[in-house]
Amino acid sequence: MSTLKLAVIVGSARRESINRRLAQALIGLAGTRAAADIIRIDDLPLFNQDLEAERPAAVERFAQAMRSADAVLIVTPEHNRSIPALLKNAIDWGSRPKAHSVWAGKVVAITGASPGAIGTALAQQHLRQILGTLGSVVPGGESYISFKPDLIDANDHINDEGSRVRLQAFVDGFLDLAERLHPASA
């Protein structure tokens, strides 16, 4: 038996990203059920089909990290009511070549935080649609985080109990599904 290998993607490269803080808190909630790595996407070149003949090293590293993961967690901001270009760029690179897409058949949980009231709901709807097209298995549970400055402390602990309970259920549901689809890692 081995631990579930979890690739975590944060849709923001901002130094003080609230989504990176949320991702780290969620990794904490996964505990020993998952070996999680945040996979960087900010070094990927802007997608251009001309680059596909000789794929840049950063793209190969990204694709390899994604292929070797049992499951993926995407934690993303909302930009102009959709997903950030940074994240779309990574998704597009991962989708190519189509026969070797890193997204097909992969369990991909999605969540995100914004200071606004709807907590990335519209970005997540777009992301769900994109991943569905690519053949990913996106768990049903929805998780929209309206971020307040004191929600997560310096030790990645979620201070608000209601939020912590909801996010623990979100993480548990996602890992239950990923383990069912990857019994060797349960």
- Which residues of the shown chain bind ligand FNR in the complex (CB under 6 A)? 12, 14, 17-19, 77-81, 114-116
Q: Tell me the one-letter amino acid at 31.
A: G
CA dihedral 51, 54, 58, 60 (to 10 degrees): 120
Minimal distance in Å, beta carbon 145 to ligand FNR?
A: 10
Q: Give the nearest distance from C-beta 113 to ligand FNR in angstroms.
A: 7
DSSP secondary structure string, 44-75? SPPP-GGGGTT--HHHHHHHHHHHT-SEEEEE
DSSP for 19-36?
A: HHHHHHHHHHHHGGGEEE
Tokens of 60: 């190969």
Q: Cβ closer to ligand FNR: 76 or 136?
A: 76
Instruction: Supply the minimum distance, in Å, between the C-beta of residue 126 and ligand FNR.
Output: 11
Strands (E), the chain: 4-10, 34-38, 71-75, 107-114, 144-146
At its nearest, how many Å lie between ligand FNR and the CB of residue 160?
A: 18
